[in-house]
């Protein structure tokens, strides 16, 4: 049945019915334009009180890992799930002190982020540029078949991530544990590309991990290159004790590279939020874990890469707010007019 539909009454006249969900959809469509914004962030969870940091335009995240689960060798048309996790190590737009345990201004918490979304390779150029497109639907989903989540947790520093350098200090249930303070999902188109390093038109294979830091992943070599992605995340909920003010969406941007030269590859990822422990681990079968093979991007069941990311906060453009208010006001008035007109006709 269409969103705008007619139903017959016993008197023979028709009344226009518009479902509440349809009105919400109209408002959502009108509210898409956005602009950069600053908020007040309080790492203590105390709202606008003591410890609040004003003028925060976004977060920077520590260099970490991301994995393309199900992508063994890049080919056009390949669709795969991407999972990412890290910890906030900068408040952008204002000055703050990040401790060695990733605390902000000496707070008792660090702030870990986990994300999952779906991509498809749309093109590979002769020069080795791989182009990606968003393959996640607009609806919120946390299944491994169609991941679409972005979450930030306040994790006690005593039990949180101490470093992003290896299997014992950078993995485990430390990323997705603690208090969920922000939850969202991907709504906008994903823009992404990765340039493979080539020699005479052939992708170059080199070291996988040159960071000098140990990891449980025994992969020795990897495809080489670099690129990035940018996507829009709609905020579904935000804890007002930490995020003070209107927070509608954020732009999430990543810079990706191979080999790993700053941190060691992680060995556990979340395929769904609030999992308690990582549910994608190394080594694993094609369906329950990941294995980057002997050469990452050539003969494993997944491709892993080093990632550094940041996110900037956005709010609706003033014109969009006016459009939303207009939609919320005019549509109900229109419906009322149509109903009154239908009653007169019936009379």
Contact 60, 307 (CB under 8 A): no
pLDDT in tens, 182-233: 999 888 777 899 999 999 999 999 999 999 988 889 999 999 999 999 988 9
Q: Please tell me the predicted confidence (pLDDT) of residue 159.
A: 79
Checking if the pLDDT of 278 tops 90, the result is no
Q: Is the dihedral of CA 34, 38, 43, 44 positive or negative?
A: negative
Residue with tokens 């990891």: 215
pLDDT-derived band at 4 (thresholds 50, 70, 90) equals: very low
DSSP 289: B
Checking if the pLDDT of 107 tops 90, the result is yes
- For 228-273, the three-class secondary structure string (H helix, E strand, C coil) is EEEEEEEEEEECCCCEECCCCEEEEEEEEEECECCCCCCCEECCCC
Q: What are residue 42's phi and psi, to 5 degrees? A: -120, 105
pLDDT in tens, 125-144: 999 999 988 876 555 555 55
329's CB contacts (< 8 A; 6+ apart) are none
Question: How many CB atoms sit inside 10 A of residue 188's CB?
Answer: 17
77's CB contacts (< 8 A; 6+ apart) are 120, 121
Query: d(Cα 261, Cα 1) in Å, to the nearest integer?
Result: 55
Q: Which candidate, 315, 290, 300, places its Cα nearest to that of 238?
A: 315
Q: What are residue 26's phi and psi, to 5 degrees? A: -60, -45
Q: Please tell me the predicted confidence (pLDDT) of residue 324.
A: 35
- For 110-157, the three-class secondary structure string (H helix, E strand, C coil) is EEEEEEEEEEEEEEECCCCEEEEEECCCCCCECCCCCCEEEEEEEEEC
Q: Which candidate, 166, 182, 172, 173, places its Cα nearest to that of 88?
A: 182
- pTM attached to this predicted model: 0.79
Tokens representing 163? 């470093």
Q: For the residues 163-170, what does the mean pLDDT come to?
A: 52
């Amino acid at each position: 049945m269409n969103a705008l539909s007619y139903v017959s009454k016993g008197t023979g006249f028709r009344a226009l019915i518009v479902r509440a969900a349809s009105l919400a959809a109209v408002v959502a469509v009108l509210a898409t334009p956005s602009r950069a914004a600053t908020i007040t962030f309080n790492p203590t969870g105390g709202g606008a009180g003591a410890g609040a940091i004003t003028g925060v335009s976004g977060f920077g995240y520590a260099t970490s890992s991301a994995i393309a689960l199900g992508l063994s060798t890049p080919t056009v048309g390949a669709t795969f799930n991407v999972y990412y996790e890290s910890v906030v190590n900068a408040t952008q737009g204002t000055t703050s002190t990040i401790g060695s345990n990733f605390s902000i201004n000496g707070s008792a918490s660090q702030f870990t982020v986990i994300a999952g979304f779906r991509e498809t390779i749309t093109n590979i150029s002769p020069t080795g540029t791989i182009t990606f497109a968003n393959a996640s639907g607009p609806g919120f989903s946390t299944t491994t078949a169609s991941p679409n989540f972005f979450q930030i947790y306040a994790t006690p520093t005593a039990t949180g991530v101490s470093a992003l350098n290896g299997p014992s200090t950078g993995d485990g249930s430390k990323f997705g544990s603690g208090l969920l303070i922000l939850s969202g999902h991907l709504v906008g188109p994903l823009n992404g590309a990765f340039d493979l390093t080539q020699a005479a038109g052939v992708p170059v294979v080199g070291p996988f991990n040159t960071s000098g830091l140990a990891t449980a992943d025994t992969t020795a070599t990897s495809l080489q290159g670099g690129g990035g992605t940018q996507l829009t995340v709609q905020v579904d909920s935000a804890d007002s004790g930490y995020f003070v003010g209107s927070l509608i969406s954020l732009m999430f941007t990543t810079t990706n590279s191979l080999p790993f030269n700053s941190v060691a590859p992680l060995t556990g990822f979340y395929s769904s939020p609030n999992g308690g422990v990582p549910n994608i681990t190394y080594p694993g079968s094609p369906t329950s874990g990941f294995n980057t093979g002997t050469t990452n991007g050539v003969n494993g069941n997944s491709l892993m890469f080093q990632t550094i990311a940041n996110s900037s906060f956005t709010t609706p453009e003033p014109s969009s707010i006016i459009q939303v208010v207009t939609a919320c006001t005019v549509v109900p008035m229109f419906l009322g007019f149509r109903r009154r007109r239908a009653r007169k006709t019936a009379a």
